[in-house]
A and B are shown apart, each in its own frame.
Chain A
Amino acid sequence: MPPLKIAQFCWESLHAMREGGLAPAVTHLAEVLGRTHEVHFFTRGEGPDRNIEGVFYHFYQPEGENILDYCHDMSRGLLRKFHESDAPPFDILHFHDWHCIDALEELRDRKTVISYHSTEYGRNGNNFGNWPEFRAISEKEWTGGYLARQVATVSKHAKTEIMWLYGIPEHKITVTPNGIYPDSYRVRLDPGSVKKRYGIHPLAPLVFFVGRLVYQKGPDLLVDAIPQVLQRRWDVQFIIAGKGDMRPFLEERCRALPVQFTGYIPDEEYLQLLNACDLVVIPSRNEPFGLVLTEAWSAERCVVATDVGGLSENIDNFVDGIKVPVRADSIAWGINYIIEDPIRIRAMGLAGRQKVVSLFNWEKISTIMEQVYARLQTPPEKMNPGQNSGRRNRG
């Protein structure tokens, strides 16, 4: 494949503003593609445009009273930046999630790709909202799927979800899981000394949750499971890391329980906790991919996760993790089932590690993404007959 000039649009990156799992996924994708292609990354942030790790970063700091105005302003600002670098013209324009859809609308005649890392429906814990913001964001997500020439999403579940929600035809969609650099998440350390820093006995089993404290991620399900875990095993300790609206509610609920809320933790501390804990729990109600899963596996951790979305798809039950229904008592069952057996915990963690190394390495993922770009390079008139006949055959 000849080198392409690629523009990535994403509202977060590891080098400026970071919100959640989207930032590492898109930043690393850009870096891997940047090894063979010319990649420009349009994102919000301050400071001069610069080259970081082989990717040209273009920053714009948006303003706005609400999230919609804010993202609209961001799209306008990033569009201006885009046009400044559009000579010679970009071959591929790749948009991530809904935040820059206004820019996509403007550039609809170009070769565009949109990646759905999640949907507004999913972020609301599989619920439709009747408030204006929900409707506006959903509309933008629909527009993105309608206008973009190619659509990428992170799991088969997410693919089904966007086909159902936004009527995107299947032939436009390619599943491209998030990749990971497994070695950057595995740290050789003494778990006991990390636990001690949190006032936890070095040999007390530590269950770790990391993620935004929002309904989608199900921290309330974990919190409700804790008393049932303690009934069976009194010495288990819990650390819940991350920030979000639900924190005061959760803290109130955890009064007198062995739970610590750390709030936002820097990457270094995250790695320490990830490698020191005995079990990672992912109690999400909706999880298109579940980056925490591959991060936990990279650190050879065993996971107890809800049987949803990408988690359901990627975990081999009782081999590299435990899958449970989206219920507090089921999560408690999952934790109780495995916490007594350190040897199996370790074995499952190692099995997970082997899986990320073989299936989720960035080289493999970027190749899939390049194939999506290659499809766009093929002239539509040549592509259509083949596709049509394929559809006829299937029918």
Chain B
Amino acid sequence: MQADQGCRNLCMGLSIHFPYFIDIGFDPAKTREKGTIRFSPSQKADFTEYLHQAFIPAMHGAFQWLDSGECLSLSISGLAISQLLEDESYGADILVQAMKHRCAEVLGQTYYHSVAGLFSKKDEFIYQATRHANQVEELAGRRPVVFENTEFVYNSGLADIIRNLGFSALYSEGHDHILSGTNPNYVYSCRNLPIFLRNCRLSDDIAHRFHDRNWDQYPLTAEKFAGWIAKTPGDCIHISLDAGIFSGNGRDASSFEEFFCGLPEALHSDDVRTVLPESVLRNLSKRDLQLEDLGFSSHDTICALTGIQNMLQQSAFWCLEAAEDLVTEKEPWRRLQSTDHFARMAGRSGSCGRPAASYTSREAYDYFAAYLRNLAFYEEACHHQHRSRLAARALRCLPPDKAFHFYSPERYTGYSAHSLKEFSRFLEFVPEEVFCFHQDRGDFSRWITGVLGDTVLARDIEQCTRAGEAADLVRGRVRELCHRLK
């Protein structure tokens, strides 16, 4: 009887992405080579391992579904597709077959699995979404209809852009702590764009808890999981699984494959059918949803949905966004936009079907430092191509050893400026005692002259008596320098 009240439709998604990490050990001081971004030296070996440990088993599982007429959506970044195409193994052929399969649907996303959706200018986001859609169309013969933004970043402004790009719906995450009671198992609509919410709890039951022997539901069987779905109220449940889960994370991978492959049969016996996002869109009614309905203020939106949770990520993000005007070759810069870099700068990451990762604050800081070292090194190499080298030098991002660290007479305030722009942002709220401490010692002008090479600003800032005054001055100078750059 309970089954009659539950969900009848399941939208299963498989997510494929291989991260492109940078080389943490890279030290610009020890190289004479031309500046470019140094990615991890074990990139190739790691990719091969991912291919065999995760991708191939995931595809094996996917074809078990697809060939028996079960529907599966695929979410794969443009970068991952390119990596597979460049690799000379058979991975690319398998992927293309899956993408073309009549029971599969490929979701749209940013080409580089990027944070571009958060940039204040949306050109880059539009470019990447379009490039990915073109790539999918070329390979699969169909253009994606439903968009899934990286890390499920979503706000009303993006909804408009995504609709204008020709997508008919958007995926976002339905974390329990975000939903505040909103049932994720219905189709919602925001600014006339239908929104699907992933069921994070059920996704994480598979992704995080499947191998957990301490979980009171262990072991999870296909029949048990299908039973939960059939009892869950709603129209359609959306589940997302990262292909990395198929590697078993050092545990018994075969038990997971068995579970995944046995799931369709268990679903059928509970009268649940698998569907594609596109068909959900056609068949189900939509409920209105505002971002505020999920209990979000604008700040929460940034923190909770974007994965930008700490000041390291924020500094790196600001430097990345500003770098667009400072780099001449966009490809390496675009690879730095991947959310994987930002996940490495946080303590914990991974949820809603993605494998969990945990880094100590030392590891997070080391990655952040390496990220900025690389970006700074690359920007410096591009200086000579700018109209104003002085402006390019003053606006570039700085690695931690060249950043401005704000101190009070007694202690470190906890923040450091890694660019002139960030410096002006901190001056807006820096306590007056901190400002006076540095101003009295001449730290500001010394840093601006010595590190940024801007003697004009250094001279002017010496005259400032208040932090707010200095903030206005630096902001004005940044605008002027940006103008000179173009």
Contacts and interface: CB of A to CB of B under 8 A. Distances in A.
B347 A340 contact: yes
Interface stretch (A84-92, A167-175, A229-237): A229-237
Contacts of B310: 203-205, 235
A248 to B, nearest CB: 16
Chain A CB within 10 A, most for which of B303, B413, B414: B414
Nearest to A341: B348
A112 B36 CA distance: 81
B410 A255 contact: yes
A341 B434 CA distance: 30
Interface string B168-202: 00000001111010000000000000000000000
A258 B414 contact: yes
Contact of B177 (A232, A255, A343): A343
Interface string B147-181: 00000000000000000000000000001111010
B303 A203 contact: yes
B177 A350 contact: yes
B413 A199 contact: yes
Given A255-B410, A343-B175, A199 B303 contact: no
A179 to B, nearest CB: 23
Interface stretch (A97-105, A138-146, A185-193, A211-219): A185-193
B347 A199 contact: no
A326 interface: no
Given A190-B298, A196-B429, A256 B311 contact: no
Nearest to B298: A190
A342 B429 CA distance: 24
Nearest to B429: A196
B299 interface: yes
A225 B177 CA distance: 29
A342 B308 CA distance: 11
Contacts of B410: 255-256
A201 B414 contact: yes
A339 to B, nearest CB: 8
Interface string B392-427: 000000000000000000111111000000000010
B406 to A, nearest CB: 9
B314 interface: yes
A350 B175 CA distance: 12
A63 to B, nearest CB: 41
Interface in A155-189: 188-189
A25 interface: no
A205 B348 CA distance: 14
Nearest to A236: B414
A343 B347 CA distance: 12
A77 B360 CA distance: 61
Interface residues of A, number: 32
Nearest to A190: B299
Interface residues of B, number: 35
B297 A199 contact: no
A46 to B, nearest CB: 38
Chain B CB within 10 A, most for which of A234, A235, A258: A235
A340 B348 contact: yes
A203 B177 contact: no
Given A255-B410, A258-B414, A197 B429 contact: yes
Secondary structure call for the A interface: loop
Interface string B305-325: 000111101100000000000
Chain A CB within 10 A, most for which of B299, B351, B410: B299
Chain B CB within 10 A, most for which of A191, A201, A204: A201
B468 interface: no
B311 A235 contact: yes
A147 interface: no
A193 B429 CA distance: 9
B428 interface: yes
B430 interface: yes
Contacts of B358: 340
Contacts of A203: 303, 308-311, 313-314
A111 interface: no
A197 B176 CA distance: 31
A23 interface: no
B351 A343 contact: yes
B434 A342 contact: no
Nearest to B435: A199
Contact of B347 (A197, A341, A347): A341
Interface string A227-270: 00000111101000000000000000001111000000000000
A255 B308 CA distance: 31
A193 B300 CA distance: 12
A347 B358 CA distance: 19
A200 interface: yes
B102 to A, nearest CB: 37
B411 A188 contact: no
A199 B351 contact: no
B284 interface: no
Given A256-B410, A342-B304, A201 B311 contact: yes
A204 B176 contact: no
A346 interface: yes
A205 B415 CA distance: 12
B429 A199 contact: yes
B428 A196 contact: yes
B292 to A, nearest CB: 9
Given A197-B429, A201-B311, A203-B314, 13 more contacts: A201-B426, A202-B299, A202-B314, A203-B308, A203-B311, A203-B313, A235-B310, A258-B412, A258-B414, A340-B347, A340-B358, A346-B304, A350-B180
Interface of A: 188-193, 196-197, 199-205, 232-235, 237, 255-258, 339-343, 346-347, 350
17 contacts: A190-B298, A199-B429, A201-B415, A202-B299, A203-B303, A204-B310, A204-B415, A232-B360, A235-B310, A235-B311, A255-B410, A258-B411, A258-B414, A340-B348, A342-B303, A346-B178, A346-B304
Interface of B: 175-178, 180, 297-299, 303-304, 308-311, 313-314, 347-348, 351, 358, 360-361, 365, 410-415, 426, 428-431, 434
Q: Closest 6 CB pairs between A and B?
A: A340-B347, A196-B429, A199-B431, A347-B177, A190-B299, A201-B415
